[in-house]
Structure formats: structure tokens, C-alpha cells
Chains A and B, each alone.
Chain A
Amino acid sequence: MITIETIGQVAEHYDIAVVGAGPAGLAAASRAAELGLSVLLADENPAPGGQIYRAITTTPVTKRAVLGEDYWKGGALVDRLRPTNAAYAPGCTVWSVAPDEAGGFELGLSLGGQARLIAAGQVILATGAQERPFPIPGWTLPGVMTAGAAQIALKASGLVPSGRTVIAGCGPLLYLLAGQLAAAGANIVAVLDTTPRRNWLAAIAAFPGFLRSPYLAKGLKLMAAARGRLPFKTGVTALAAGGSDKLTGVTVTRGGASETIPCDALLLHQGVIPGINLANAAGCAQHFDTVQHCWTPTVDDWFASSIPGIAIAGDGAGIGGAESAALRGEIAALDAARRLGRLSEAERNEKAAPTQAELARSLRGRRFLDLLYRPAPQFLAPPADETIVCRCEEVTAGQIRDTARRLGVTGPNQMKAFLRCGMGPCQGRLCGPTVVELIAQERGVSAEETGYYRLRPPVKPVTLAELAALPPTDAAIKAVVR
């Protein structure tokens, strides 16, 4: 592993560029490098591991039990990359992926305030997941964060919330985080579970699969540990964060009655969804996954997207968890090697077979979790008109509903033109799913029919100075010289 510190150290061309150094990206880069291919692994974060294994090589947490044994497994993924010749670029943002004239791809990179355009024969996007937006009144107040944010602060910096802490929402991470923060000494005054009781009816059909799942024992242990020790409140149907310029409490509704719990930190979680911005901007086809209830890039069995030469591995192509992400990265790398002519189809198939079998095992029981922890409709499309949906441009649910109704807006791109939702720096990452949900609900059509934002590069802000300093190509000069 060659660690790249400045943009000048990045080569002009790589056989494979991998975007994201979480489990999928680390496994893909390792596998590709082991096959003798030249690999660039570019990652925005200062250290490898992605979010699930965040700061695995640098964490200040010394008590292993605080983060749990699953976390420490991430070290092996980094150890595997170390002896290879892969170039690893931390703190490096990939803001564009586009086809080049040579039949490969041109990637726009930014590192240390300088941009570069480089070429890669094959691209593997391993951009992972993000938390599903959880729009409730007051969720923009300082003091309200995602559960994942608190977990990152713990893993990367050894920080725990210092005041009265409330964790609210739905999904396995809720229990995991509650347990981790409690073990790290946080004062958790309530865990508010929004899992709809009727989800059990839908999920029960998938229960036999879950019985053979690697999640089962782990999940039961997590839940029992968290529930036994922490003040759980289930059947939560509404939440509102209160405070004028910062959070002072959360109002919770259960069984028709409301109470306000004073708190200093509110950590929200409503499951995770694929981070699709780079794939979408590159033009990869996507569809609405009705079980996981999110937009997902469309991939085949080898995790190839609709654009030949771009594969999407890991949770960025559908939520499967850390273990499956690494396996999917591995399989995507084998197929990329086949496309580059390094492996024959037969060799690829033979090498992939054991990993594919392991992948099938690792995904057992996932459907049960997806159905059980599907968010309640009121947390996908906020009923209170004053709830901010687009945090960047401060567009409310009421404005979006009203505009959809009165102007007959049929999709999020039109809505963007009218209200600016999705136009801020986050580029729809925190409002896209909610805007789609609200329009779909207002028009009585599906999310699939409503569509999603058409995103464009750069997918992350890059300064004009960086762009202006890029060396001009002949084509660019010809385009302006008459």
C-alpha cells in the first residue's frame, strides 16, 4: 500500500480506481492489486475503514468491549491491503466520473485543495451508505445529530455525549449505538423506538430465513443487552425536537399521549440507505427498492452498473451490511479484472464461487430486518407542515405539499426548480428521499413513478481556483478557439 499525500503523487492512469475505503472498497482494492492490477483507492476520510470501521487504525478507544468485537474485524481488511502495491489516497474527494476517449474513465479528484483529472480503465464505486433522512420538527437544531454521527465521534475521537442523551428511531443500529454509548459512559435518559408494531406482521413471513441468519444471535444479544439496562419506550408515533436556538428537549407521542423529555443531545436513526450521488451523477441507472424503501443503483450479479466499466460494490448498491460489503467488493474486483483481460471468464467464475456462496450466507435474514425496521410512513413524509425537509435551503414539508398540489409538480427535479430544495451544498442527500415521498403521497403515485433528482458533477464542492488550475486539454482549447 502506497499512501498518497499530495495530488502530484497520483499517477496519470490506473487499471482500476476504487472510490471509498470502507469494507467494499478495501476488499476490492486488495483483490485487484493481488491480481497484479494498478489500483487507486481514493477516500474522503483521513483514515481507512469507511463508517462501519471508522478510524479502525487510529481510534483512541482502548476498551475493545465498548465498540464490540465486530468493529475490530475491520483491521484485517486494512492489513490485507498493506502488503499490496495499491495507491491509497486519504482525504481525497472524487467529484466526477465520466467516460473518456480511450474507452475508460476520467475521474475528477481533489486533495489538499488541489484538483486533478486522471484516467482509469475500470471504476468501482464503493461509496457506502448514509443515514436515511429523519425529518421531524426541530431536527435542524444544534444538539440534534444522527446516531451514526455520535458513533463516528466515539470511534474516531473517543467522544461521548456529556449531557442527558436521547436516542430515537428504528433499526438495528439504534440498539447497537445505545449499547456502545452506555458502555462508554453516556447518560442515556431514553431510547425511543419508532418501529411500527404492525411491521411484525409483514416481517414474520421472512422469519424462517432470519433463523439461519448470522444476524440472529448477534441481534438478540444486542437487543437483550440494550433493553435490559436502558430506559426503552416502544410504540413511538411522533417526535419533535424543541428549543429556540439549540435543543432543550424532545416531545414524544405514544398511545395518543405526549410528554416532553428534557435533553441535551438527541440522536436520530431511521435506518441507512445507499449513498447514490456519485453513481447517479455518473449516469448509472437506479430503481426504487420497495423492500428497503430507497433508491438503489441497478447492478447485476457481478455488481456491474448500467454503464459498462463502472461497478458499484457494498452498501452503495443496496444495504447488506459490512460483511456482505467486503464480499461484494471482492466479486466486483474479479469482474473488473475480467473486463481488463487479466482473468478469463472461467477464471473469474472459479475464483468468485466461494465468495458468492459466502455472500449468499451473509445476506440471509436481511429481508426480515428490512421488513421489521421499515420506517413508519409519518417519518418518511412528515405530516407537520412546518417540518424542514431541505435543510440547506430551508424548504418545509408544507411548501412541498402545497407546490405539488397547486402547481401539479410531478417530480423532484421540477420541485427543485420551484422551491430550490436539493440545490444547497448537500445536493439532495438529506432531502431527496423525503421530497420524493411527499410528491408521491400528494399525487397518489409510487416513488418509482415520481423519480429522483438528476444529479450532476461535481458531486462535492470544488473551488473555481481548483478547476481553473487544471491543465487544459486540446479539446477544451478547441472548444473556445474559433
Chain B
Amino acid sequence: MFRLMHEAKPAEALGFTFDGRALTARAGDTVAAALLANGIQACRQTPVSGADRGPYCMMGVCFECLVVIDGVGNRQGCLVPLREGMRIETQAGRRHPDGG
């Protein structure tokens, strides 16, 4: 859905995983930007209907880019800088009592 513009300053490539898939993005990207740059549009499902949602405001206001980062849920992907080796997962709807 997004691509790097021509003539962008070069940046180091960082490796990370999204739902187990190995991906790379540029150092300096936020988690949400890294997902968009990899063509990932949906990063969570809503707790109410389970509908897919993706980053909407990119500035910490809308909470649509919530993801699980290194096992911690409800992280705002647009505010967290990407780090090498990050394990990012879809935030799948609401939590269930069995821990699922």
C-alpha cells in the first residue's frame, strides 16, 4: 500500500517478524510505518465485531494500529520505533479468559 519514495536517504535495514513472517524495514521507521512499507494494511481485529483495522492517524490519537510487540499487547505501533529482532503480532480481538 505504501512504497519508499525515490531519492530517500539510505537507512540501515532492520529485521523483524510479523505473525512469524520474517520482514525488513528501515531504521527510523515506527512499527506502524514498517508494516505499511511491507504492504500490511490490517494489524488488528476489533474486540467487538472482529473486523480488520489498520493504521489510521499515525500520530498516536486513534489507537487503530494497536499490535502485540514482543509479547506485550495494546502497543501503539505508530509511536514505537522499530528495533532489530522485534516480534510483532496482530492484536486479535478481545482477550479470552483462557489466555487466548
Contact = CB atoms under 8 A, between A and B. Distances in A.
5 contacts: A113-B72, A130-B59, A146-B56, A162-B3, A393-B48
Interface in A238-280: 245-246, 264-265, 275
A148 B57 contact: yes
B56 A275 contact: no
B52 interface: yes
Among B3, B28, B56, B64, chain A packs the most CB atoms within 10 A around the CB of B56
B48 A394 contact: yes
Interface in B25-81: 26, 28-30, 33, 36-37, 41-42, 46, 48-49, 51-64, 66, 72, 74, 78-79, 81
B9 to A, nearest CB: 4
B8 interface: yes
A461 B56 contact: no
A158 interface: yes
B3 A149 contact: no
Contacts of B46: 392, 394
Interface residues of A, number: 55
B21 interface: no
Contact of A246 (B11, B52, B56, B62): B52
Among A185, A392, A460, chain B packs the most CB atoms within 10 A around the CB of A392
A391 interface: yes
B57 A149 contact: yes
B45 to A, nearest CB: 10
Contacts of A142: 41-42, 52-54
B4 interface: yes
B64 A391 contact: yes
Contact of A161 (B1, B74, B81): B1
B86 to A, nearest CB: 14
Given A61-B5, A91-B81, A46 B30 contact: yes
A154 B62 contact: no
B98 interface: no
A163 B6 CA distance: 15
Contacts of B5: 61, 66, 154, 158-160, 184-185
A159 B3 contact: yes
Given A44-B79, A143-B1, A148-B58, A157 B26 contact: yes
Among A55, A140, A424, A461, chain B packs the most CB atoms within 10 A around the CB of A140
Contacts of B60: 44-45, 460
Contact of A265 (B1, B7, B74, B78): B1
A146 B78 CA distance: 14
Contacts of A463: 72
A290 interface: no
In order of increasing CB-CB distance, the 10 nearest A-B pairs are A158-B8, A142-B54, A142-B41, A149-B58, A425-B63, A60-B9, A162-B3, A159-B2, A157-B33, A152-B58
A473 interface: no
Nearest to A130: B61
Given A60-B11, A158-B9, 19 more contacts: A62-B7, A62-B8, A62-B9, A113-B72, A130-B57, A131-B61, A140-B51, A140-B53, A145-B58, A156-B28, A157-B37, A159-B5, A159-B33, A161-B1, A185-B6, A394-B49, A424-B63, A429-B62, A461-B74
Contacts of B58: 145-146, 148-149, 152-153
B69 to A, nearest CB: 10
A142 B78 CA distance: 15
A51 interface: yes
A275 B57 CA distance: 13
Contacts, number: 139
Interface string A140-177: 11111110110011101111111100000000000000
Contacts of B63: 392, 424-426
A141 B9 CA distance: 31
A140 B79 CA distance: 20
A198 interface: no
A482 interface: no
B58 to A, nearest CB: 4
A59 B26 CA distance: 12
Nearest to A46: B81
Nearest to A128: B59
A218 interface: no
A131 B61 CA distance: 9
Given A46-B81, A142-B54, A149-B56, A391 B2 contact: no
Interface string A410-450: 00000000000000111001100000000000000000000
Contacts of B74: 425, 461
A162 B1 contact: yes
B40 to A, nearest CB: 9
A140 B50 CA distance: 12
A158 B58 CA distance: 14
B62 A159 contact: no
Nearest to A277: B61
A9 interface: no
Contact of A157 (B28, B59, B66): B28
Given A62-B8, A246-B52, A426-B61, A159 B36 contact: yes
